[in-house]
Every structure is written in C-alpha cells, then in structure tokens.
A and B are shown apart, each in its own frame.
Chain A
C-alpha cells in the first residue's frame, strides 16, 4: 500500500543544514499497521510529514498504491491518505463547530450528502449526533481526538497517518482511543502508520515497526519480537528497558515479591 524508498529529508543549506531523515526505507502492506518509534528529534514525525506533503522530500521516493506521489499532492492523494495529529487541543479550529470541521473536507472534495456523512462519521467514532454543533472547548480531550479521527475518516481514506495520537491524553482515555483505532482498522480495512515514543502503544496497535534514531532507521522488528524482549540493537534494547519503568542501578534486597 505504501512504499518508502531511501527517503531523505533535509532542511536548510550549508552551515544550517539539518539532515532530519537519512535514507529510510520501509514497506507497508494494505490493511497492516506499521509503527515508527524513537525519541524526539529522531525524525519519526518528519517521515509522516514527508509522506503527506508537510515536509519536503529531498531524495528518495514515496509510493502510495504503487504510484509515486506528486508535489504538491493532488486531491486524489488526500482521498487515500489522511493524518491525525498529536494534540487535539491544537489541531481543531477553536472557532469552528464540529459540524464545520467535518464539513470542510467534504466541501473541498465536492462531496454531496454532507449531513448524512457527518452523522455517520460521528457514529463511527462513538459520538452521538448531539456533539454536532459543539465547539472544541465544549469537548474533553478524548472527545476532541475522536473528532480529529472522524475528520480524517470522513473522506473514506485507505491510509491513516497517526502522529502520537494518544500522547496528550490520560491513560484511561488513551485506552479508549486505542480501542477505537483498533476497531476502525478492522471494520474499515484501514492501513495505519503510527508514530509514537511509547513502545507499549506501538506494540499494541502495530504488527511491524521501525526504530529510528538521529534520522536513521536503526532496526526493523515485529511487535511479537518486542514482547519477547528480543532486540538485536542496543538502542532498541534500552528503549524496551526504559518502557518497563524506573529501575534502581543496585537492585534492592527486598525485591523478591514473596512474603
């Protein structure tokens, strides 16, 4: 479905040159979920932004459905690929109602039957029709992220790019959104690319993942391997360890959970 070949993203020139992404390649099958993991500055979000046209592609190719993308991206591209951003507090227009937010993509693409589509989209993300005329400030963080997902889904895309969709949310709300994403993927046959710094979230949602560091791909692995703690790379290993919580260097004697 998605084929990224030797993707390179460079910002600036000369002394100010920053290589944000260096030669990253991966392939995502239709209906699969692929994770990108790494620390801030590792270039994982830049890969997503390069795919959907928010960052320049300096070198390499991005193929969607076997076709190389054009710059600027056409309408057809955005019918296939949509993005959900990290912070639902920032990604929804504060002075647009849910209805307006959802009708915008329909208007751009000349879709008819807006009202039914909006109600359908709200239903898909588990919100009732009563949310239709609310403003973002009248919604909780989880509800806002649901609206952002509904906005991305309303054009019936095949690929959803998810940039840290749950990191601004509380743990209990994160669980709800992860369940929703899992469910939508199965029901609508979507392909996901998920960017997250949380290994557990990526392992939960994705089958395969790419670990990135300093703009380079460090290791491609599977969630199953991650769960069993198998990682050939030291950096991946340190990420796995860090996700287990804090460990004291000298283990305390009272560590055995007996008694």
Chain B
C-alpha cells in the first residue's frame, strides 16, 4: 500500500464533566487510502466523534489525544490553526446529517457554494459562479441555474443534501467525511444521493469516510468497514465479507435486522457482553 492519506493511531476523545470523565472514543486506529471506508456503530459508539476529531471539530470541553493523527503527512494535532483552516473545507471536508440544520438559512444555495469556494481558492466572483453552477450540475440538479438562486427552505431534503455535497466538493478535497449523509432522507432519494457521491468519489479519486448506523447500507456502499462499539473498533473487515463477521456484536447487528428475504420471528436480539466494552 502506498502512503496512506490519513493515518490515525490510538485516537482518544475525552469529555471532562462534572460527573466525571467520559471517554467517547477510546484508542481508535486506522489508515485510509483513496478508498471508501465505512464506520458503523450504534448511537453513542463514538463514530461521529471520531469523524469530528479528525477535522478538529470536537466541541469544547472535549479533549483529543492520539499517538498519531496525520493527514497526508501533516500532523493535525500540532498543526497551527491557520493550517487547519486551509485544510478544513479545502482538502478535507465534511457532509453533515441534516441539510436543514447545516445550510445557512439566509443565504441562497449559490452564494453559499461561492463562499466556500472563495474561502479556499483565489477566484473572481464570475469564476466562482461558474464553478458553483458546474458543481450543482455535477450533483445532478435538473436546473442548476434555478437551484443556485434558491434559499435552503425552498428545496427538498434530497436537493438540500445534494447542495451540501456540491458545496463540500467544490474545493476538490482529497478526503470527504460524510456523517450519516442519508439518514434524514427517504430510501429512494438516499440511493440517488449515494450514487452521486459514489461517482464523484471514484472519478476524483477521493478518500471517503462514511459514518452510518446502517450496517446494510454501509456494507453495500463501502470497500472496508470499521465496526465501533463503546468507543472502540471491535472489528475491521472488507465490506463484501461482512457476512463472515467474527465479532459477536457485528453478527448480532446483522441478525437483528428484519429482512425481506426471510421471515424470522421473533427477531434475534442483541445480548451485550460487558466484555466487548473492555
């Protein structure tokens, strides 16, 4: 394997609270090349905090430590704020869960994409405008010119999410972190959004971290999957081998989903072994 795009070793995220210290992420290590990596886990497993910590977006009073947290050779923990600012949104960007809350409600979608582009590239307004329109077209907007001048509340959830993706990809990032990008969308719309994401990632040769609670979706979309439980990676495997998962937690998660294919009743439930969290 060539030099990894992202190298994470022993990542820990702690929150010091009045009631004691909560360790949300406890020693996560992985390397990412130009591939699609899925991070799966239930709520509270630390998957989102892992994604945020990479970008330096851990909310205060959270504390991030790691033996190594390097993006393309740049140490993200010791890098200056200035370096981080150029990386964030430039070479690493993030798509959040809900377009309703992550787009600016008082700016048109076009202006927001232009703003994102001009923050990282020296470009005239006209150039940025062309780029934004091209990007809206790349995310399969039927009428880019119209969407450009719409406000976020005027578009549907699926369109909003595609606009977000357009905004995040306009700077041609090397790494995209997508935190539950389709959870707020309908099944058929989310398939459409995933297809666009998939095309863009493979065309541009980006690395993608796809954070989701949906094991089935992740295994069909990603190349490799990390399964997290209580802040730890309990299993790491090739997505196509998900059926041969070794860890009882992964197996349990797979089995407890109702499927169209067969009718199991009652559904097997997950018996959590306290030893998994150790």
Chain A contact residues, CB within 8 Å of chain B: 39-40, 141, 170-172, 174-176, 178-179, 182-183, 197-201, 203-204, 226-227, 229, 238-240, 242-249, 254, 257
Contact between A179 and B267 (Cβ–Cβ < 8 Å)?
yes
**Cα–Cα distance between A47 and B102 once the two chains are bound (Å):** 31
Q: What's the nearest-Cβ distance from chain B to residue A159, in Å?
A: 22
* Interface size grouping (class) on chain B: 35 or more
Contact between A178 and B43 (Cβ–Cβ < 8 Å)?
no
Contact between A203 and B269 (Cβ–Cβ < 8 Å)?
no
How would you classify the secondary structure of chain A's contact residues: helix, strand, loop or mixed?
Answer: helix
A176-B269, A182-B266, A183-B266 are contacts. A200–B187 as well, Cβ < 8 Å? no
**9 interchain residue pairs of minimum CB distance:** A245-B220, A175-B256, A204-B258, A172-B270, A39-B186, A242-B187, A175-B267, A246-B220, A170-B42
Q: What's the nearest-Cβ distance from chain B to residue A225, in Å?
A: 11
CB neighbours (8 Å) of A40 from chain B are 157, 186
Closest to B265 in A: A182
Chain B contact residues, CB within 8 Å of chain A: 42-43, 157, 186-191, 194-195, 198, 213-217, 219-221, 240, 252-253, 256-263, 265-270
**Cα–Cα distance between A132 and B161 once the two chains are bound (Å):** 42
Contact between A39 and B188 (Cβ–Cβ < 8 Å)?
yes
Q: List 15 A-B contacts (CB under 8 A).
A: A40-B157, A141-B43, A171-B256, A175-B270, A179-B266, A179-B267, A182-B265, A199-B260, A200-B259, A200-B260, A201-B258, A203-B263, A243-B260, A245-B221, A246-B220
**Cα–Cα distance between A173 and B263 once the two chains are bound (Å):** 18
Contact between B260 and A175 (Cβ–Cβ < 8 Å)?
no
CB neighbours (8 Å) of A226 from chain B are 260
A204-B263, A246-B194 are contacts. A175–B257 as well, Cβ < 8 Å? yes
Contact between A197 and B213 (Cβ–Cβ < 8 Å)?
no
Of A141, A179, A240, A243, the contact of B269 (CB 8 Å cutoff): A179
Closest to B202 in A: A248
CB neighbours (8 Å) of B257 from chain A are 171, 174-175, 200
Of A141, A176, A198, A246, the contact of B221 (CB 8 Å cutoff): A246
**Cα–Cα distance between A176 and B259 once the two chains are bound (Å):** 15
Q: What's the nearest-Cβ distance from chain A to residue B190, in Å?
A: 8
CB neighbours (8 Å) of B157 from chain A are 40
Closest to A238 in B: B188
CB neighbours (8 Å) of A170 from chain B are 42-43, 213
Closest to A205 in B: B258
**Cα–Cα distance between A242 and B186 once the two chains are bound (Å):** 10
Q: What's the nearest-Cβ distance from chain B to residue A192, in Å?
A: 15
Contact between B258 and A245 (Cβ–Cβ < 8 Å)?
no
**Cα–Cα distance between A226 and B186 once the two chains are bound (Å):** 19
**Cα–Cα distance between A249 and B266 once the two chains are bound (Å):** 35
A39-B187, A171-B257, A175-B257 are contacts. A249–B252 as well, Cβ < 8 Å? no
**Cα–Cα distance between A199 and B214 once the two chains are bound (Å):** 15
CB neighbours (8 Å) of B217 from chain A are 245-246
Of B194, B198, B268, the contact of A175 (CB 8 Å cutoff): B268
Contact between B270 and A245 (Cβ–Cβ < 8 Å)?
no
Q: What's the nearest-Cβ distance from chain B to residue A131, in Å?
A: 19
Of A171, A204, A243, A244, the contact of B213 (CB 8 Å cutoff): A171
CB neighbours (8 Å) of B252 from chain A are 172
Given contacts A198-B187, A227-B262, A246-B195, 4 further A-B pairs with CB under 8 A are A199-B260, A227-B261, A245-B221, A246-B220
